[in-house]
Homo-oligomer: A and B are copies of this chain.
């Protein structure tokens, strides 16, 4: 190995990692406790950190080191070879994007966000339309700047968020959903579950909610010596390496299941980070392998574990004990119905497990229509509403509940949404593989998820980002991506909940 290049590489990597770490801490501070007055200067500091990282990553000595190591990648150990390949690709991508255009886009995004919020609040798409036009024009240009022999158009964006997944794979995936899942979801969502829903509408004070989430934290074995749990407006997980992983929760007194499932969801993300091989700390190969694989872990914990009867058998009594008044006389059966209800609704982030992928299919179609089929930004609301009625059978009365509901496009992120549905599908395939080796329900009835955590560490988490997500999926499940596990799981589960068997 070119030792000189490797030393330059390691030196710069350690500096870039330090900057990413403090950038994470600054963001964490902004979202969890910074005084209001600090917002502007913390944002400015984040901007300087981003510029500094860009300059360091593009410095000639570092770029030359990456190129030198890439040239001899076949002789490097497997983890380093993968990392260098990814860094080389990233360097190549960054070089292809005109710097002045990138800066102009960053500035535009900074100015656009407030307008987006205002447009969303007032349901006034036309207010945001000129901004969105310019933001997405840059995104479309990105596709041509980053085009390769094998990646064109929308595929460029898709592959960035989930390496190895382009329209070919997604079309097959969504095709299976369209054929098998959509008719089933439409049928189930038209039915009503028969139970006394009164308890779910009661008020659940924040303090006992907090205590119960701390209880769940222990059930899930989230290690607080290497992480912490705090509150923020929107729950999220972030961290750096295996030894500093942080999650947040938000407590709604009028919706007590929200904090429960968001804690389980975020802890799924957190366990993925905490259970990565610690030898990868300090490299660029730690953390999750992709957006889709990360989301698979949060959803596996939230939906497959966290909404299962076996999970709640040991913990439901604790929940009743925590809220004796609100849950008096409520049976585990009714609670299970409450947390596994499916219905058509407008807002993606509030959708249930069954109808969720329909929201993603709609966005996938919209993004293709824009990038590939000439859909004008001006026509986004009409096209959205047309597709929504087609998939869901209901029509939103305004753009706040429609095309303006998600922040992603206003950030210039296209190609991201599909990873959400992919994550659920990965989760089902991984869960099926785990079930072949482990009696999951028996493990959950023991009162802790430790056995599940152990299986996932061994088969998924420990690899970090040292392999591509499809490779990890194959190692963990013995086969390439297969969306039928997901459809089988959803149809099996909801047939049981709704008595359709």
Contact = CB atoms under 8 A, between A and B. Distances in A.
Interface of A: 14-15, 17-19, 21-23, 25-26, 28-29, 33-38, 40-42, 44-45, 47-49, 52, 223-228, 230, 240-244, 281-282
Contacts of A240: 38, 41
Contacts of A42: 21, 25, 244
A417 to B, nearest CB: 32
Q: Which of A223, A224, A244 has the most chain B CB within a 10 Å cutoff? A: A244
30 contacts: A14-B44, A15-B48, A15-B52, A18-B49, A19-B48, A21-B26, A21-B42, A22-B23, A22-B49, A25-B25, A25-B26, A25-B29, A28-B29, A33-B228, A33-B230, A34-B228, A34-B244, A35-B224, A35-B226, A35-B227, A35-B228, A35-B243, A35-B244, A37-B243, A37-B244, A40-B243, A41-B241, A41-B243, A41-B244, A42-B244
B52 A225 contact: no
Contacts of A223: 37
* Chain A interface SS verdict (over half): helix
A225 B35 CA distance: 5
A495 to B, nearest CB: 43
Nearest to A239: B38
A44 B22 contact: no
Contacts of A230: 33
Contacts of A26: 21-22, 25
Q: Which of A36, A44, A243 has the most chain B CB within a 10 Å cutoff? A: A243
Contacts of A17: 45
Q: Which 9 A-B pairs have CB atoms at the shortest separation, nearest pair first? A: A18-B48, A37-B243, A37-B226, A38-B244, A18-B45, A22-B22, A21-B45, A36-B225, A35-B228
Nearest to A34: B244
Contacts of A48: 14-15, 18-19
Q: Which of A26, A37, A48 has the most chain B CB within a 10 Å cutoff? A: A37
Nearest to A278: B37
A22 B45 contact: yes
Copies of this protein chain in the complex: 2
Contacts of A23: 22
Nearest to A36: B225
A136 B103 CA distance: 49
Contacts of A225: 35-37
A281 B243 CA distance: 35
Nearest to A44: B18
Contacts of A33: 228, 230
A322 to B, nearest CB: 21
Contacts of A49: 18, 22
A270 B187 CA distance: 62
Nearest to A40: B243
Nearest to A29: B25
Nearest to A23: B22
A405 B240 CA distance: 36
A362 B240 CA distance: 46
Nearest to A14: B48
A220 B15 CA distance: 42
A281 B41 CA distance: 10
Contacts of A241: 41
A421 B172 CA distance: 76
Contacts of A15: 48, 52
A44 to B, nearest CB: 7
Contact of A38 (B38, B41, B243): B243
Contacts of A41: 21, 240-241, 243-244, 281-282
A224 B17 CA distance: 32
Contacts of A14: 44, 48
A177 to B, nearest CB: 40
Contacts of A244: 34-35, 37-38, 41-42
A223 B38 CA distance: 12
Contacts of A243: 35, 37-38, 40-41
A84 B135 CA distance: 41
Q: Which of A18, A34, A224, A226 has the most chain B CB within a 10 Å cutoff? A: A18
Nearest to A226: B37
